Structure 1
Amino acid sequence: MAVNVPGLLSVLVFYLAILGTGLWASKKAKKEERKCKGNQSEVTMVGGRNLSIWVSILTTTATWVGGGYLLGTAEVIYLPDRGLSWAIAPIGYSLNLIVAGLFFIKPVHKKNYVTVMDPFQEKYGDVLTSILFIPSVLADVFWVACILAALGGTMSVILDIASHWAVILSAVVAILYTLLGGLYSVAYTDVVQLFLVFLGLWLCVPFILESPASLSIVFTAVHEVYQVPWLGSLQLRDVGIWLDDLLLLTMSGVCYQAFYQRILATGSVAKAQITCFVSAAACFVLAIPPVLIGAVAASTDWNQTSFGLPAPYEQGKAGMILPIALQHLCPLFVSIAGIGAIAAAVMSSIDSALLSASSLFARNVYKNIIRRKASEREIVLVLKVCILVFGLLGASLAMSTGSVYVLWFMSADIMYSVVLAQLLAVFFLPRHTNSYGSAVGFATALLLRGLAGEPLLGLPALIGFPGCRLHDGVLVQAFPFRTAIVLLTLAAILLASRLAAVLFFRGLLPEQWDVFKLRQKDSTTLKEVPLKEAAEGSSLNPSSE
């Protein structure tokens, strides 16, 4: 197969443009750092809290509309056993931003937090924060690997190059401009990337719809021709799975540091809420092109195209249906625009995940645990080293796995099943939880999620939730079991917190067993002590940064 030289050159030009934008933004970041002497790390992590609202909207949208979002939406529409009725991502992502804007902005904005781990460190101290930090960073690394793998597969389809070269090139560019300018480079490159995503995808739509090898998607929506109607169907027995997936997409996003980077970079709660609501609408609009492309792919006689038979689904290439459709159903210049759009979407998510994971380590582990007296310059240096390390780790994972979906699944599932209950407790029920409850909740979530199994990872289910059934010898959880795990974990946090308070404050357990220092030296009542937010561990004062 010959390399697609025009396409390769256009991608190189795109990467140079993005790198140039990142370099320009890094100069703006340095100016801001000079204004905020003694607080350079906050400029790198949250842009000095003065990001304009339009940049905030565009960077938030670009982060959510990543390569997995676009490729996954087209794949679901195209799959014969799924279809539009299972296209949950556009709904879930939009609802996620709406829910976040309504409920999760005020708790972090009013205390001027920098990362999502700050309230955990303030409430539970250093030991538990260092443990809760692990799933959040793992989720970000898996996210980086997922979107790099998606881009590698896409470029290998359209440009006829080895996927690992696309992974390496994309990782190097993203790491470089994120290193140079932090959030400023990430935000302003996102503006350019989102413009390319919008322009590139919508440019492809008319050509895709007019493909001579495809029937009208209006007709194939309800009539079976080359495969079952692309509208799909939702069986009653699958409603629990559908709801679980929807809730996962709706709520897992509020656990990511990438979200809080953007809302904390705005100057007020109102601006942050506007950012969320406008971005929610934009995410839904940008899902329309992949939906249409997936529908056309399901309506195509592939024997009339350069792809030939068997069809992509029969070759196990449904996950790459978006780039396959662009290459075989569009003129060359249109397919090049499409690959630019996908590359832009991927880059806009990689940089966010890299900065997210690095910020968590540099601030909540290095600054607040390892080196409390570290200078701002030292913290920024550690942040940049982390960007490099996490970027290389994500690229390595992307090149060592053949499944993009498994990486995406691991990232979202970790945040939903393990982290969400902790976040809900510390944000909305801080007066009813303590370190013991958080530790028990963490162990409960890990245990239940492991016992529930996961066929994609080859983990057999050892416990069955209501409605579980056997399919090809594998136990399938038809119940919304991840949501059940979240609720059970939250209950465990609250019950264990109360039990610990009773045991220690009534003297039922000796004081030397109180490893989290729950007991206070002052004369407080049993009822009052668990309600004090500063009742334990070391405290983080975000106002004294």
Structure 2
Amino acid sequence: MAVNVPGLVAVVVFYIVILVIGIWASRKSKKVEKTCAGTKSEVTMVGGRNINVLVGVFTMTATWVGGGYILGTAEAVYSPSQGLIWAMGPPAYLINFLLGGLFFAKPMRSKRYVTMLDPFQHRYGNMFTATLLLPALISDILWVACILAALGGTMSIILGLSSALSIVISAAVSIIYTFLGGLYSVAYTDIIQLSFIFVSLWLCIPFLFLSPAVPDITQTIINQTMGNSWIGELKLADAGKWTDEMLLLALGGLAYQALYQRILSAASPAQAQVTCFAAAGTVFIMGIPSVIIGAVAATADWNQTAYGLPPPFERGEAGKILPLALQHLTPTWLSVLGIGSVAAAVMSSMDSVLLSSASMFTQNIYKTTLRKQASERELHWVIRVSVLLVGLAGTGLAFGDDSVFSLWLVSGDLIYCVIFPQLVCVLHLRSANSYGAITGFVVGLLMRILSGEALLGISPLILFPGWREVDGVITQYFPFRTLAMLASLICVISVSWLVELGFSHKLIPHSWDLLGVFEEKKEAEGEEVPVPPEEKNIILNTKL
């Protein structure tokens, strides 16, 4: 395929603009470091806690509207075996942000934490916190791989560029401005990226409908002779799998550091809640163009396009349906805008994920365990090196995966099964202790691993009711992820209660308290972090 030179020039210009904005924001970050009461590393990780609501909504929305969200939603709607009813991203993320605003934003922001792992460190100590970092880090790396794979496939189709080259260049741009400016660079580039995504994708919609290869998509809802029905069907035998994946996206997202990076950067708990509620609406709206593109692609007569027959699904290219639809069903200049929107979505998510992992490692491992006397300059460089390493790891895994939707789901598996129940307990259950947390962690992790994962080549050792085997690959249709999550949650609650009961009634000798949980009450437990006077004023003004 020949390289689309005008399109390539347009994308290069877009990348340069993003890079310039990122560098400008990094200079703003340095100015804030001189005037902010917080530390230099805190400015990098949570923006000095003075990110306003509008910027917060933009950056939170842009983080979730990534390549996986845009391409995965279109793929689900287009695929004959799925359809609109399986496009769970928009409703799931709507629920995610509403729950985040109602139950998680206030307790996290009011105690002025820096990362999602801080409450674990205060309650359980350093060792367990370091253990929790591992599934969070794996999930972030898989997320980076997911969104880069989405971009690589899109650029190779529309611009004629090598997928590998596209992945490397895009990753390099994101890593550079995140490396330089931290949260400020991430937040201000997200504004431009999200605006570009919104305008370019909605601009493509009228041209898709006007394409001679696209009949009236509303007719395919009831008349399948005209093409594939894009509404889809949810059979009773598939209900367990659908429920599992919906809850994975809706609840699993509550345990991502990327979410709390925005919550903790807000000026007050009230502003953090408002940011979540506003993002719930904007994320849902941003998913609508992908749904329409998937429906149009399912309805289109591909024989009337240069793509020809067989259609993309039969060629195993359902994961690339969005760029294929833009390439063959819209004018060339619009398809270039489309690739720009995917590139923007990828970078807006990738920079957030890079900073999230770097923040957790620096704050909860390096600063508290490895180098307690580390200077602010040293911590700042640890964040930068961590950004680089996570970016390289995710880039290395981005090559060769065909289904963006599958990789998108797998990236949240460990978060949902292992970290989400732990976070619920540490924030809302005062009786949770280290014994319950460790038990819940082990049970959740074991159940998820033993359930298998076809995408990673892990065969299941536990076969739940309703499992199916196709071409030697076993798929679980029982909600096994949710079962693992609930088992972990129940273990944390029950073991914590039983152990506390045993020690308090002297049924278990205090000499057996190997973790020192009941020797003395830790000061951090239940203790409110003092709020500075200026922040009290912000909270008061917000209430008024």
Q: TM-score range by the shorter chain?
A: over 0.9
2: CA distance, partners of 1:92 / 1:37: 37
- 1:276 match: 276
Q: Where does 1:331-346 land on structure 2 (aligned, <5 Å)?
A: 331-346=331-346
**Alignment RMSD:** 2.1
- 2:97 match: 97
Letter matched to residue 498 of structure 1: W
Letter matched to residue 248 of structure 1: L
1: CA distance, partners of 2:212 / 2:123: 62
CA deviation after TM superposition for structure 1 residue 285, in Å: 1.2
Letter matched to residue 438 of structure 1: A
The SS at the match of 1:230 is coil
The SS at the match of 1:286 is helix
1: CA distance, partners of 2:63 / 2:405: 18
CA deviation after TM superposition for structure 1 residue 292, in Å: 1.1
Q: Where does 1:492-531 land on structure 2 (aligned, <5 Å)?
A: 492-505=491-504, 513-520=512-519
8 Å contact from structure 2 (residues 319, 403) kept in 1 = no
1: CA distance, partners of 2:329 / 2:294: 12
2: CA distance, partners of 1:517 / 1:137: 28
- 2:142 match: 142
- 1:448 match: 447
- 2:372 match: 372
8 Å contact from structure 1 (residues 323, 339) kept in 2 = yes
1: CA distance, partners of 2:395 / 2:469: 36
- 2:538 match: none
Letter matched to residue 479 of structure 1: F
Q: Where does 1:6-85 land on structure 2 (aligned, <5 Å)?
A: 6-36=6-36, 39-85=39-85
Q: Where does 1:37-436 land on structure 2 (aligned, <5 Å)?
A: 39-225=39-225, 227-399=227-399, 401-429=401-429, 431-436=430-435
Q: 1:12 to 1:122 in 2, by over 3 A?
A: same
Q: 1:48 to 1:221 in 2, by over 3 A?
A: same
2: CA distance, partners of 1:387 / 1:509: 46
Q: 1:108 to 1:323 in 2, by over 3 A?
A: same
Of 388-397 and 448-457, deviating more is: 448-457
Letter matched to residue 460 of structure 2: A
2: CA distance, partners of 1:418 / 1:169: 34
Letter matched to residue 118 of structure 1: D
2: CA distance, partners of 1:165 / 1:270: 44
2: CA distance, partners of 1:381 / 1:508: 50
Q: 1:390 to 1:542 in 2, by over 3 A?
A: farther
Letter matched to residue 150 of structure 1: A
CA deviation after TM superposition for structure 1 residue 231, in Å: 1.1
8 Å contact from structure 1 (residues 501, 518) kept in 2 = no
1: CA distance, partners of 2:390 / 2:435: 31
8 Å contact from structure 2 (residues 464, 478) kept in 1 = yes
CA deviation after TM superposition for structure 1 residue 52, in Å: 1.4
2: CA distance, partners of 1:7 / 1:212: 24
2: CA distance, partners of 1:400 / 1:312: 17
2: CA distance, partners of 1:29 / 1:520: 44
8 Å contact from structure 1 (residues 78, 294) kept in 2 = yes
Q: 1:37 to 1:423 in 2, by over 3 A?
A: closer
The SS at the match of 1:314 is coil
The SS at the match of 1:140 is helix
The SS at the match of 1:515 is coil
8 Å contact from structure 1 (residues 122, 541) kept in 2 = no
Letter matched to residue 129 of structure 1: T
Deviations 1:88-139 (A, max 9, x none): 1110011111110111111111100010000000000011011011111111
Of 185-194 and 268-277, deviating more is: 268-277
CA deviation after TM superposition for structure 1 residue 259, in Å: 0.6
Deviations 1:37-66 (A, max 9, x none): 661111000001111111111111111111
Deviations 1:331-350 (A, max 9, x none): 11110111111111111000
8 Å contact from structure 1 (residues 109, 264) kept in 2 = yes
Q: 1:36 to 1:327 in 2, by over 3 A?
A: same
Letter matched to residue 19 of structure 1: L
CA deviation after TM superposition for structure 1 residue 513, in Å: 4.5
2: CA distance, partners of 1:396 / 1:512: 48
8 Å contact from structure 1 (residues 225, 299) kept in 2 = no
8 Å contact from structure 1 (residues 518, 535) kept in 2 = no
Stretches of structure 1 that go unaligned for 5 or more consecutive residues are 522-528
8 Å contact from structure 1 (residues 113, 542) kept in 2 = no
CA deviation after TM superposition for structure 1 residue 256, in Å: 0.6
8 Å contact from structure 1 (residues 117, 129) kept in 2 = yes
Of 145-154 and 217-226, deviating more is: 217-226
Deviations 1:146-190 (A, max 9, x none): 101110111011111111111111111101101111000000000
The SS at the match of 1:105 is helix
2:478 is equivalent to residue 479 of structure 1: yes
Q: 1:535 to 1:510 in 2, by over 3 A?
A: farther
Letter matched to residue 120 of structure 1: F
Aligned length: 532
8 Å contact from structure 1 (residues 221, 231) kept in 2 = yes
Deviations 1:361-405 (A, max 9, x none): 000000011111111111111001101111111111113645534
The SS at the match of 1:309 is coil
Letter matched to residue 485 of structure 1: A
2: CA distance, partners of 1:210 / 1:477: 41
